[in-house]
Amino acid sequence: MNLEHSEDGIVQRVRAMNERVVSFQEQGLYFYNQAVSELRGGARVLVNGREMGMFASYSYLGLIGHKRINKAAIEAIERYGTGTHGVRTLAGTLTIHRQLEETIAEFKGAEDAVTYTSGYATNLTVVSTLLGRNDYVISDKLNHASIVDGCLMSGAKFLRFKHNDMNSLEERLKSVPQGATKLVIADSVFSMDGDIIDFPRMVALCQKYQAWLMIDEAHSVGVLGKRGTGIEEHFNMPGTIDFKMGTLSKTIPSVGGYVAGKKELIRYLRHASRAYIFSAALPPAQAAAANEAFKVILDEPWRVEKLGANARQFIHGLRNRGFNTLKTETAIVPVVCGTDEAAFAMTQAAQRQDVFVLPVVSPAVPPGLSRLRATVTAAHEPAEIEHAMNVIEAAGRKIGLLDGRV
Ligand SMILES: *Cc1c(COP(=O)(O)O)cnc(C)c1O
């Protein structure tokens, strides 16, 4: 296909994206895919040959590089090799997969769990396996893209409610015909805003309207609850979620996704979900790393506590400096900049002072709410957080954000 042919839809979309990217690259405002070349311990990394403080990490408990977890991965390679013999249902299941699923089930206070090779694939396959054309799925407007894609793929009637608005959820529930199958689905902690779902009211509504409940705990495992086990612990409401979904790539320093729940539900998913049946099993090193990480979280509860203290310091410090951080209560701290250009300029100014933050712009967030999406972890020390906030404050003054010039 000739890329000069201008009527073609693919050509036009490819060209528009390429022009946008090249224009940002030329202005030095392109922050996509900057490679980290080395981990320097704690929350410091080497990027473009410079050591920076990492303030864009999902490794909330600072477990990347943890000795026990590395050791478990290395031992798994020595025992099983680097790959599996195929998909789980054929020759791909290893004892480490069963151990990991038992560990997850125990950690999540569930009867059983099933793992997949990514969190994205988990949401796609679980929602589309559970629901079909005659069913209803009711989803928060700010839910993660993988949930949205799973809802669309299922072919179910797709209803969305206003972000974290339980009155809006109730209206949607009321609109579903009597007797129809319905699944309510939401992030526990929202990945762009850092706020927590109104879980107690959501659970009560699901019970009142006889709806299934699925919660995506990508940003709450290791973060919420005194032991870091997630949103049920945080609200002291054990056993209230039907499908407890999570990823193995954030707090858990590996890759993969899982769902935990009642054993009949998990058995069903194991025999019916296409990402389990038609996609390769998790590699042994990643399964072993994940398995060990859940144990480390329980063995080192100081990490969860320190993350909470660090998040409070970061949120209050940025608010006191005059930034709009929306309604975050967690380690994800949006610093609203307004325009895409302002978010890029803030990123550039912060990175020049060796504070690694990243911008999030539309369409990932609504126009006008472009931001730095900064995160803290348990690996940060209070002085490092103070320093990063001073750098972000200086950036905000430099580009005119703090005195209202942009
Ligand atoms: C990251 C994320 C996912 C996807 O998980 P991966 O393991 O990275 O594929 C799903 N849901 C939410 C809310 C996430 O933040």
Question: Each residue of 281-328: pLDDT tens digit?
Answer: 999 999 999 999 999 999 999 999 999 999 999 999 999 999 999 999
Rounded CA-CA distance 235/195 in Å is 14
User: What pLDDT, on the 0 to 100 scale, is given for residue 304?
Assistant: 98
CB 393, CB 350: distance < 8 Å: no
Q: What's the pLDDT tens digit per position in 23-52?
A: 989 988 888 888 888 888 779 999 989 999
Write down the pTM of the prediction. 0.96
Domain boundaries, the chain: 24-54+301-399, 67-299
CATH topology of domain 24-54+301-399: Aspartate Aminotransferase, domain 1 (3.90.1150)
Cross-sheet strand order for the sheet of 36-39 = 36-39, 44-47, 50-54, 355-356
3-class DSSP state of 335? strand
Residue 69 has pLDDT above 90, yes or no: yes
How far away, in angstroms, is 380 Cα from ligand 1 center? 23
Mean pLDDT for the chain overall: 95
Q: For a pocket test of ligand 1, which of 60, 144, 148, 373 has the largest count of ligand atoms closer than 8 A to its C-beta?
A: 144
CB 51, CB 40: distance < 8 Å: yes
User: What pLDDT, on the 0 to 100 scale, is given for residue 32?
Assistant: 87
3-class DSSP state of 113? strand
Total residues found in the chain within this entry:
406
User: E strand or H helix at 382, and its extent?
Assistant: helix 382-398
CB 337, CB 201: distance < 8 Å: no
Architecture of the 67-299 domain: 3-Layer(aba) Sandwich (3.40)
User: What pLDDT, on the 0 to 100 scale, is given for residue 403?
Assistant: 84
User: What pLDDT, on the 0 to 100 scale, is given for residue 143?
Assistant: 97
Residues framing ligand 1 (Cβ under 6 A): 118-120, 123, 144, 146, 187, 191, 216, 218-219, 247, 249, 257
Residue 406 has pLDDT above 80, yes or no: no
Q: What's the pLDDT tens digit per position in 192-240?
A: 999 999 999 999 999 999 999 999 999 999 999 999 999 999 999 999 9
